[in-house]
Amino acid sequence: MEDVLITTEGRIGRIRLNRPKAIHALTHPMCDAIIAALDAWVEEPAVEAILIDHAEGRGFCAGGDIRMIADSGAKDGVDARAFFRAEYTMNHRLFTYAKPIVAFMDGVTMGGGVGLSQPAKFRVATQNTKLAMPETGIGLFPDVGGGWYLSRLPGRIGQYLALTGARIDGGECLALGLVTHFVAAEALEGVKQRIAQDPQAIEAILDEASTPAPEARILEQRDAIDRLFASDRLEDIYAALREDGGEWAMQTLATLDTKSPQTMKVSLKLLLDGRTMPTFEDEMRQEFAVASHVVQRHDFIEGVRAVIIDKDNAPRWQPATPEEVTGHLIDQIFAPLPADDEWNPA
């Protein structure tokens, strides 16, 4: 069974993720196959648009091949860096693609799945959509363009999502601009068939198929998020939550206490830099440097052990507190790579 199904149907190129047992988590060969398809279709006049979805199962894409990345990070990191290089090349190719792309984010859409869908011109959520960037819980950070996308969300919602890894539904995604349309899951097959026959009418087809989305519950906390996550210093956010003392603030504080202090600080800097990053290419180059450093650090290997391998959910972070994560350590993680090693959109 192929992990990604590449076909043409009618006047579209179709990319279907096909690793249902892993909720379609991306592997290096899958990224390579998607890049090759995009490169072939961009020169093919008969292909007028690209459609990205998943073949079966309960989610669109749960992320990347975390076990492989952690195994590599615990050794020399070569395979992990090769995966990130391919994944970020795919992300950039999608972001700069000359033809319209439609991503159907039906079900779990996390990490690498966010990176796969957010570059698309049309992004469709359903009642099954559950989007999150949960990387700080395993000592990683919201990559695949997270510094770009999250920093452009309203107020401080991006910082809140990056630090807590909170899951949001299709209605919340629509309200925040992370998707362009909300369509009932039962209607998707018909929508995809219509798009294949008339790609020039994608927007009209999606507009017609759209149904009212549920209320965006995250907006009920918008004022609290903007106030309590106002600072780009993690220590200030902790202090604001403690000082507030309300039920929501205390629950949020308890959530942050389970995350890696190191990668929470990485995430805040990533979003701070991402907001003014000149191009998406620059964003990918910085994220690759950060990923290359983080993947071989203790917190990532320990986070994967605690959450994915042993499942004891008791990671022992080093450093253990926000105060112990020094500015010097963050500078080391964000240090540019040598010219020969840095990411470029080849």
pLDDT score for 346: 80
* Domain encompassing residue 62: 1-346
Task: Yes or no: say if 146 and 162 are a contact pair by the CB < 8 Å rule.
Answer: yes
For the domain that residue 292 is a member of, what is the CATH number?
3.90.226.10
| Whether 143 is catalytic | yes
pLDDT score for 1: 61
Domain count of the fold of the chain: 1
pTM of the model: 0.96
* β 168-169/12-17 pair status: unpaired
State how far the Cα of 97 lies from the Cα of 117, in Å rounded to an integer: 13
One-letter identity of residue 227: R
* β 122-125/181-182 pair status: parallel
| Whether 243 is catalytic | no
Q: Which of 64, 111, 139, 158 does the annotation list as catalytic?
A: 64
State how far the Cα of 340 lies from the Cα of 293, in Å rounded to an integer: 16
One-letter identity of residue 279: T
Tokens of 45: 């006049």
| Whether 73 is catalytic | no
State how far the Cα of 162 lies from the Cα of 154, in Å rounded to an integer: 13
State how far the Cα of 129 lies from the Cα of 76, in Å rounded to an integer: 36
Question: Residue 158: CB partners within 8 Å, gap ≥ 6?
Answer: 149, 150, 151, 152, 271
pLDDT score for 66: 86
| Whether 226 is catalytic | no
Show pLDDT as tens, one digit a residue, over the chain (346 residues). Answer: 699 999 999 999 999 999 999 999 999 999 999 999 999 999 999 999 999 999 987 899 999 988 888 888 889 889 999 999 999 999 999 999 999 999 999 999 999 999 999 999 999 999 999 999 999 999 999 999 999 999 999 999 999 999 999 999 999 999 999 999 999 999 999 999 999 999 999 999 999 999 999 999 999 999 999 999 999 999 999 999 999 999 999 999 999 999 999 999 999 999 999 999 999 999 999 999 999 999 999 999 999 999 989 999 999 999 999 999 999 999 999 999 999 999 999 8
Q: Which of 53, 87, 106, 135 does the annotation list as catalytic?
A: 135
Closest-CA residue to 50 (of 136, 120, 116) = 120
Closest-CA residue to 108 (of 23, 191, 176, 50) = 23
HEC string of the chain equals CCCEEEEEECCEEEEEECCHHHCCCECHHHHHHHHHHHHHHCCCCCCCEEEEEECCCCEEECCECHHHHHHHHCCCCHHHHHHHHHHHHHHHHHHCCCCCEEEEECCEEECHHHHHHCCCCEEEECCCCEEECCHHHHCCCCCCCHHHHHHHCCCCHHHHHHHHCCCEEHHHHHHHCCCCEECCHHHHHHHHHHHHHCHHHHHHHHHHHCCCCCCCHHHHHHHHHHHHCCCCCHHHHHHHHHHHCCHHHHHHHHHHCCCCHHHHHHHHHHHHHHCCCCCHHHHHHHHHHHHHHHCCCHHHHHHHHHHHHCCCCCCCCCCCCHHHCCHHHHHHHCCCCCCCCCCCCC
